Amino acid sequence: MLSGPKGTEQSSVAPCSICGCIGRSFDLPGTTEKFCWSCSTDVASILVLTAEIDSAERVGEGTDALLAELTDISSRMLQRSQSADLGSD
Ligand SMILES: [Zn+2]
């Protein structure tokens, strides 16, 4: 759901640093970037998964499922950023 910029609200919103969509932006702890809601949830999931993979490796557990999920989220974010580029016309 995209909504174009309207009015003079641009000072209070920033384009998402991943997909570039303009809307309400969210900060995540540990980053200085702005994310839209969709991207912020994906980035948060990646942070959680990365920590889980790290601790699973530390105790010698398999990380295949976690890595698969991480790859899945990463490619979804990549697709979104690419379609944002294509749709910027
Ligand atoms: Zn985004």
Residue-range domain boundaries for the chain: 11-81
**11 or 27, greater pLDDT:** 27
**How far is it, in rounded angstroms, from Cα 40 to Cα 31?**
11
* pLDDT of 24 higher than 50: yes
* 28 backbone dihedrals φ, ψ, rounded to 5°: -115, 145
Cα-to-centroid distance, 22 and ligand 1 (Å): 8
What's the mean pLDDT when you consider all of the chain?
A: 84
Check: pTM over 0.75? Answer yes or no.
no
Question: Tokens standing for 59?
Answer: 């105790």
Give the pLDDT score at 30.
81
User: How many angstroms does the Cα of residue 39 sit away from the middle of ligand 1?
Assistant: 4
pLDDT at 89 over 70: no
Residues whose Cβ atom is located within 5 A of ion ligand 1: 16, 18-19, 36, 39
Strand-pairing partners, residue 26, are 35
**Digit-coded pLDDT (tens) for 50-74:** 999 999 999 999 999 999 999 999 9
